[in-house]
Amino acid sequence: MPCGMTRTNALLSAVLIATLAACGRDPAIPSSARDLAMEQVGFGTYRSTQFMEKARLIIHDQQTWQQAWAKIDSQSEPPATDFETQMIVLAAMGSRTHGGFTIALNDIAATRDTLYVSVLETSPGGTDCVYSALLVAPVALTRVERVDDSVQFLEHTQTTTNCR
Residue 54 forms part of a structural domain: yes
pTM over 0.75: yes
Contact 146, 35 (CB under 8 A): no
At 135 the pLDDT is 86
CA–CA dist 111, 115 (Å, integer): 7
* pLDDT at site 132: 77
Which pLDDT belongs to residue 129?
72
Q: Is 10 within the bounds of a domain?
A: no
Number of domains forming the structure of the chain: 1
Q: Has residue 95 been placed in a domain?
A: yes
Q: What is the pLDDT of residue 48?
A: 82
Query: What's the N-to-C CA distance of the chain in angstroms?
Result: 19
CB 32 within 8 A of CB 111: yes
Torsion angles phi and psi, residue 65, rounded to 5 = -65, -45
* Within-domain flag for 12: no
Does residue 16 fall inside a structural domain? no
Range of the domain at 108: 28-160
For residue 21, is it within any domain? no
Angle at CA 24, nearest 5°, toward 3 and 42? Answer: 90
What pLDDT score does 3 carry? 40
Output the pLDDT for position 9.
40
| Predicted local distance difference test score (pLDDT) of residue 17 | 44
Which has the closest alpha carbon to 88: 129, 38, 134, 137? 38
Report pLDDT for 108: 97
150-160 and 139-145: which strand pairing? unpaired
Mean pLDDT for each 10-residue chunk of the chain (164 residues)?
41 42 77 96 83 97 97 93 98 90 94 97 79 86 96 93 65
